[in-house]
């Protein structure tokens, strides 16, 4: 099966994950794709194919003769799509010999604009796949799955005909593990990956954008919740008594630096991101995510939030607490709950330089520049790295994820297939 047909088949499955669900996978639709993939891995000739009770799909391409002592490596992609936008019944638009200009999304009347996505200019002349504007496409991360499966299929075919065809100038490979996970989009993709079964020394998630990217820096991340306890009284008798929780919440929000939000930062710059605000006179809540690539700045950001809570308790007569003390309810007007989410994988990857060198060499060998842009988010690879599996992230050739402007090219996916094969067969 060619990669376009394979990709279109995968995106036909609705696999939106659900953060409110406690099951694994979080939605039953993901299991339908998992079953299909397990059957496909068996059909193309992988061994030790397994679909486990949590919806994880595993497979192994055994080492070729002469390479059985090589370091076992792995490739990982996720099956779910983001709950940020509908993924039900996507209708891909396929545009051959794309002209590099704006693309009307015919199902919604929206337009995929070069002004918003300048990388579209790079894709001129390729076969572009977009949505029709009514759903996301699912390239995140079904492009990654299609690339891994296609690469494995082509390596198996090369193994079968090694004497007559060679390995496209590549000399065999060691053990190559693959795994397709559920629920990455809701932060759980790595949680139940069985590293006792998936016996790679290091691996690559295939879940990025530009096909030549090898990402190994991500944010340090935490969530922060301010809970404000006000005091309600009839507004006609409120002077000196009322503590309006919603107004206090608004004042706290304005106390954070306006130039340190997602909309005003880039690259390695961190931020505070207000994700939700709720409240009335007596109770209010502010929910933030806190991000920074640098560990010291990350800790400073959290300490700054603690100082804000302390200052507002002093201002409104709440019970104070110190920065080193657990935040507690008691008589506090403002409570702050900080919860660690994930850490920057850089500190792990730095100790395994081979994983980056191998990827960079493979990318450059297919004639494109290797880049290493910092991930302004988290990846399953970050969690896996701290679980003992160093795991940087490779690009898929897709862009505009999590919404109606998602797009990918056939040529980009084909390039990633070649990169995966080169990584797999590196000496």
Domains present along the chain, CATH in parentheses? 3-217+344-424 (3.40.630.10), 220-342 (3.30.70.360)
Distance CA 358, CA 183 (A): 28
What confidence score (pLDDT) does residue 277 get?
Answer: 96
What confidence score (pLDDT) does residue 375 get?
Answer: 87
Distance CA 218, CA 386 (A): 13
Burial class (CB in 10 A: 0-12, 13-18, 19+), 118: exposed
**Catalytic residue of the set 40, 70, 80, 141:** 80
Q: Token pair for residue 181?
A: 């996970």
Which residues in the chain come in under a pLDDT of 50? 166-169, 322-329
Closest CA to 318 of 250, 408, 226, 380: 226
**Catalytic residue of the set 141, 153, 184, 213:** 184
What confidence score (pLDDT) does residue 50 get?
Answer: 98
What confidence score (pLDDT) does residue 117 get?
Answer: 96
What confidence score (pLDDT) does residue 159 get?
Answer: 87
What confidence score (pLDDT) does residue 329 get?
Answer: 45
80 among known catalytic residues: yes
269 among known catalytic residues: no
What confidence score (pLDDT) does residue 170 get?
Answer: 53
What confidence score (pLDDT) does residue 320 get?
Answer: 58
Closest CA to 336 of 265, 272, 243: 272
What confidence score (pLDDT) does residue 379 get?
Answer: 81
What confidence score (pLDDT) does residue 167 get?
Answer: 47
Distance CA 309, CA 314 (A): 9
What confidence score (pLDDT) does residue 15 get?
Answer: 97
What confidence score (pLDDT) does residue 169 get?
Answer: 44
Please check whether residue 327 is in contact with residue 182, taking contact to mean a CB–CB distance below 8 angstroms. no
Query: 63: alpha, beta or left, given left = phi > 0 and alpha = psi -120 to 50?
Result: beta
Supply φ then ψ for residue 387, to 5 degrees. Answer: -85, 0
Sequence-distant (6+) residues with CB within 8 A of 393 are 204, 205, 206, 207, 208, 213, 214, 215, 216, 375, 379, 381
What confidence score (pLDDT) does residue 331 get?
Answer: 72
- CA max distance for the chain: 92
What confidence score (pLDDT) does residue 165 get?
Answer: 53
Taken in order 325, 330, 334, 335, is the CA torsion positive or negative?
Answer: positive
Closest CA to 346 of 391, 314, 307, 407: 391
What confidence score (pLDDT) does residue 161 get?
Answer: 76
What confidence score (pLDDT) does residue 164 get?
Answer: 56
């Amino acid at each position: 099966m060619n990669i376009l047909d394979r990709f279109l088949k995968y995106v036909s499955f609705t696999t939106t994950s659900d953060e409110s669900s406690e099951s694994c996978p979080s939605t039953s639709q993901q299991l339908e794709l998992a079953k299909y993939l397990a059957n496909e891995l068996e059909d193309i000739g992988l061994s030790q194919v397994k679909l486990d009770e949590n919806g994880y799909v595993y497979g192994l391409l055994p080492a070729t003769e002469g390479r059985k002592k090589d370091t076992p490596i792995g490739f990982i992609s996720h099956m779910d799509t983001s709950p940020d936008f509908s993924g039900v019944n996507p209708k891909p638009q396929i545009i051959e010999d794309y002209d590099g200009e704006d693309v009307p999304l015919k199902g919604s009347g929206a337009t995929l604009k070069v002004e918003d996505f300048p990388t579209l200019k790079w894709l001129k002349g390729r076969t572009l796949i977009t949505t029709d504007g009514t759903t996301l496409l699912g390239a995140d991360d079904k492009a990654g799955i299609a690339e891994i499966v296609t690469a494995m299929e082509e390596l198996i075919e090369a193994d079968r005909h090694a004497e007559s065809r060679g390995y496209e100038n590549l000399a065999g490979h060691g053990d190559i593990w693959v795994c397709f996970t559920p629920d990455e989009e809701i932060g759980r993709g790595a949680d139940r990956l069985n590293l006792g079964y998936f016996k790679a020394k290091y691996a690559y998630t295939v879940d990025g954008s530009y096909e030549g990217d090898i990402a190994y820096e991500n944010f340090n991340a935490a969530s922060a919740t301010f809970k404000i306890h006000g005091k309600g009284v009839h507004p006609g008798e409120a002077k000196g008594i009322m503590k309006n929780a919603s107004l206090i919440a608004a004042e706290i929000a304005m106390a954070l630096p306006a130039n340190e939000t997602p909309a005003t930062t880039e690259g390695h710059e961190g931020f505070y991101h207000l994700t939700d605000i709720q409240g009335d006179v007596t109770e209010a809540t502010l929910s933030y995510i806190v991000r920074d690539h640098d560990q010291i700045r990350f800790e400073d950001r959290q300490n700054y939030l603690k100082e804000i809570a302390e200052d507002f308790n002093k201002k409104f007569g709440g019970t104070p607490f110190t920065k080193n003390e657990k935040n507690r309810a008691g008589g506090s007007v403002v409570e702050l709950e900080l919860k660690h989410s994930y850490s920057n994988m850089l500190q792990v990857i730095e100790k395994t330089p081979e994983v980056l060198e191998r990827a960079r060499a493979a990318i450059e060998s297919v004639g494109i520049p290797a880049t290493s842009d910092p991930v302004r988010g988290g990846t399953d690879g970050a969690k896996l790295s701290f679980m003992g599996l160093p795991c940087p992230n490779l690009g898929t050739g897709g862009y505009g994820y999590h919404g109606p402007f998602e797009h990918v090219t056939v040529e980009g996916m084909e390039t990633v297939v070649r990169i995966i094969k080169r990584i797999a067969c590196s000496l």
